[in-house]
Structure 1
Amino acid sequence: MTEVGKMVLAPVTITEEQRRQYQEEGYFILEGVISAEVLEGLRAECDRLVRQKDEELARRGVESEGITHRGSRYFISSHGHDSETLERFLFSDLMASICLATLGPDAYLFNEQFVVKRDRAGMRFAWHQDSGYIGHPHRPYLSCWCALDDVSEENGTVYILPYSRAGTREWTPHRKEEGTNDLVGYFGDDPGIPVVGPAGTIAVFSSVTFHRSGANTSPHLRRIYLAQYSAEPILNKEGTALWHWADPFLKGGRRVDPFVSR
Structure 2
Amino acid sequence: MTPTSLVTREHLAQFRDEGYFVLDRVLTDEQLELLRGGAQYSIDKLDAAMDAAGTDSLGINHRGKRYFSSMIYQDRPELRQFLFSDTMAEICRATLGDQAYLFWEQYVIKAGDPDTAFAWHQDSGYVHEDHEPYLTCWIALDDVTEENGSVYLLPYSRSGIRSYVKHIRDPELNDMVCYFGSDPGLSMTAAAGSIVVFSSVVIHRSGANLTDRNRRVYIAQYSREIISSKDGTTAHGSFDPFLDGGRIVADR
TM-score, scaled to structure 2: 0.94
**Aligned counterpart, 1:108:** 101
Q: Is structure 2 residue 236 aligned with structure 1 residue 236? A: no
Rounded to whole Å, the distance in 1 between the matches of 2:103 and 2:48 is 27
**Aligned counterpart, 1:73:** 66
**Aligned counterpart, 2:246:** 253
What's the CA shift string for 1:23-46, capped at 9, x where partnerless? 111100011111222222211211
Letter in 2 for 1:126: A
Q: Is structure 2 residue 25 aligned with structure 1 residue 37? A: no
What's the CA shift string for 1:132-152, capped at 9, x where partnerless? 001222100000000110000
**Aligned counterpart, 1:117:** 110
Report matched runs for 1:218-233 at 5 Å.
Answer: 218-233=211-226
> Please, which of 177, 180, 183 is the counterpart of residue 173 of structure 2?
180
Letter in 2 for 1:82: D
Q: Verify the 8 A CA contact 1:135 1:173 in the aligned structure 2.
A: no
> What is the total number of aligned residue pairs between the two structures?
249
Report matched runs for 1:85-234 at 5 Å.
Answer: 85-121=78-114, 123-234=116-227
Q: What secondary structure is seen at the aligned counterpart in 1 of 2:226?
A: coil
**Structure 1: stretches of 5+ with no match in the other structure:** 1-10
Query: In the TM superposition, what is the alpha-carbon distance from 1:257 to its structure 2 partner?
Result: 3.0
Query: In the TM superposition, what is the alpha-carbon distance from 1:249 to its structure 2 partner?
Result: 0.7
Q: Verify the 8 A CA contact 1:120 1:220 in the aligned structure 2.
A: no
**Aligned counterpart, 2:46:** 53
Q: Verify the 8 A CA contact 2:240 2:250 in the aligned structure 1.
A: no
**Structure 2: stretches of 5+ with no match in the other structure:** none
What's the CA shift string for 1:219-247, capped at 9, x where partnerless? 21101110000011101223332111211
What's the CA shift string for 1:197-219, capped at 9, x where partnerless? 21011100000000100000012
Letter in 2 for 1:215: A
Q: Could you list the structure 1 runs, at least 4 aligned residues long, displaced by more than 4 angstroms after superposition.
A: none
Rounded to whole Å, the distance in 1 between the matches of 2:5 and 2:73 is 22
Q: Verify the 8 A CA contact 1:169 1:208 in the aligned structure 2.
A: yes
Q: What secondary structure is seen at the aligned counterpart in 2 of 1:53?
A: helix
> Please, which of 16, 21, 28 is the counterpart of residue 14 of structure 2?
21
What's the CA shift string for 1:67-122, capped at 9, x where partnerless? 00001000000122221321111100110011011111110000000000002355
CA RMSD of aligned residues (A): 1.4
What's the CA shift string for 1:156-212, capped at 9, x where partnerless? 010011011111101001000121100001111111111112101110000000010
- Which moves more between the two structures, 143-152 or 27-36? 27-36
Letter in 1 for 2:33: E
Rounded to whole Å, the distance in 1 between the matches of 2:74 and 2:244 is 20
Q: What secondary structure is seen at the aligned counterpart in 2 of 1:80?
A: helix
